[in-house]
Amino acid sequence: MGRRALGVGLWLLIAAAALLVYLFAPTFVSDFHSRDLAHAGVFFIAIVGLNLLTGYTGQISLGHGALMAIGGYTTAALVVHEHWRDVWTIPLAGLAAGVVGFLIGLPALRLSGLYLALATFAFAVAMPSLLRKFSGLTGGGQGLRLLESSPEQVTGISGTVTIFGHSMTQNHFLYYLTWAIGLVGFLIMWLIVRGGLGRLFRAVRDSEVAAVSSGVNLARYKTLAFAISGVYAGVAGALLAIQDEIVNPLTFTFLLSILILVGAVVGGLGSLPGMVLGALFVQYLPDLSTRVSSKPGVPDFVYGAAIILVMILLPSGAGGLLRRLAEPLTTRLYTRP
């Protein structure tokens, strides 16, 4: 007994602490800043999704911003054209991006490394152009405005939202919605990567040849990783559309794909808790670097220098640091005396 119970207890303690932070974080920041936190939640969901693909399955993607676009535009189109309630579009947005992710996974079966990077990059670069070209559905360069086209379907338009008899501001609602989905998504991902499926993904990452020799169907698990990752990106895109109340091609540029990748690597590929730090890094760093000096060029300089510095100091991301910090504890808990 003893050790195992202690381990389970420790995990429960961490989960309880995470839940408390989730519930009470907005009370410590202003209403306005809880919107920033909500935005960080969008990054978090997308980064957790990319982590499965890149961190656990070893497939690089420079196109996750475009998958977010699929989700965001699904939500926006359903609200604007079909007058759906905004929050009910989220599952469909995830599904749509999951299907597209699966389709991207098909050519990816033949490509690896930089060639795969180019394929996903092509998707990211083409997306804004395609969105402008098919303007009937997407509103072209103007994009789609949820608030103007069907305000009655935007949750919290009156300023407050009431859930289970508990009323809160719209910004708080967006925070709780985004991070609730984020935490559920995190839990699901944790169950995936620690189980048999996660082991199959890691086998593909560590050695394709060895995986095939042991009877792992490469095509199935690569496309599956792309699809699951796509669902996460789609949900993130949907939440972004709901938060911004507008989508246009400029929301989903190549830069967004890059930011998600930066977040995943800074958070630590192949580590789940690190993803929270990765998301906060991507969300708050631009703001912090503008605060250093707003002279032209200086914020970008500081931003880039911070990325380089973090990577030099933490080559395996924040996740690597967390692992090292927790190592004395985990070895005591999980090794037999």
Partner 1 sequence: MLLAFDWTELAQQIVVGLASGGVWATLALALVLIYRSTGVLNFAQGEMAMFSTFIAWSLVHHGLSYWAAFALTIGISFLGGVLVERAVIRPVEDAPVLTVVIVTLGLFFVVNGAARWIWSPEVRSLPNAFSTRPIDVVGVAFSIQDLGTIGVSLGAVGLLWLFFRFTKLGLASRAAAVNPEASRLLGVRVSWMLALGWGLAAAMGAVSGMLTAPALASFDQNLMQPVLLYAFAGAVLGGIDSPFGAVVGTLILGVLVNLIGTYVDWIGTELRLPVALAVILGVLLIRPTGLFGREAVRRV
CA 289, distance to chain mean position in Å, is 22
Residue 230 in contact with residue 101, Cβ under 8 Å? Answer: yes
Output the CA torsion sign for 206, 212, 213, 215.
positive
Single-letter residue type at 313: L
Q: What is the DSSP letter of 2?
A: T
Identify which of residues 218 and 307 has a Cβ nearer to partner 1 in the complex. 307
Is residue 302 close enough to count as binding partner 1 by CB under 8 A? yes
Interface positions, 231-260, toward partner 1 (CB under 8 A)? 258
Question: CB 274 → partner 1: shortest distance, Å?
Answer: 13
Nearer to partner 1, 98 or 299 (CB): 299
Nearer to partner 1, 81 or 132 (CB): 132
Q: Where are the beta strands (DSSP E) in the chain?
A: 144-145, 160-163, 166-169, 246-247
Would strands 246-247 and 144-145 be described as parallel, antiparallel, or unpaired? antiparallel
Task: Name the β-bridge partners of 167.
Answer: 162
Number of other CB atoms surrounding residue 141 within 10 Å: 12
Q: Which of 3, 83, 85, 133 binds partner 1 (CB under 8 A)?
A: 133
Listed ranges 65-73, 129-137, 168-176, 328-336: which one lies at the site for partner 1 (CB under 8 A): 129-137
Q: Where are the strands (E) in 6-121, listed by range?
A: none
Directed axis angle between helix 254-267 and helix 31-50, to 10°?
Answer: 80
Q: Which is nearer to partner 1, 10 or 311 (CB)?
A: 311
Residue 291, helix vs strand vs coil: helix
Report the residue from 27, 213, 331, 335 that binds partner 1 according to the rule CB under 8 A: 213
Closer to partner 1 by Cβ: residue 190 or 303: 303
Q: Is 284 in the site for partner 1 (CB under 8 A)?
A: no
| Sole binder of partner 1 in the list 117, 147, 183, 197 (CB under 8 A) | 117
Q: Which residue in 11, 88, 301, 334 binds partner 1 (CB under 8 A)?
A: 301
Query: Is residue 299 within the footprint of partner 1 (CB under 8 A)?
Result: yes
- Measure the CA–CA gap between 315 and 178, rounded to whole angstroms: 30
Stretch that binds partner 1, among 90-98, 185-193, 196-204, 208-216 (CB under 8 A): 208-216
DSSP at 54: I
Residue number, 41 or 55, with CB nearest to partner 1: 55
9 binds partner 1 (CB under 8 A): no
Instruction: Tell me how far, at minimum, the Cβ of 234 lies from partner 1, in Å.
Output: 21
Q: Minimum distance from CB of 224 to partner 1 (Å)?
A: 20
The CB-of-49 to partner 1 minimum distance in angstroms stands at 16
Closest CA to 273 of 182, 196, 200: 182
What contacts 162, CB < 8 A, 6 or more positions away?
168
Distance, CA of 77 to CA of 277 (rounded, Å): 32
334 near partner 1 (CB under 8 A):
no
Binding residues vs partner 1 (CB under 8 A): 54, 60, 107, 110-115, 117-119, 121-122, 125-126, 129-130, 132-133, 207-210, 213, 258, 261-262, 265-266, 269, 295-308, 311-312, 315-317
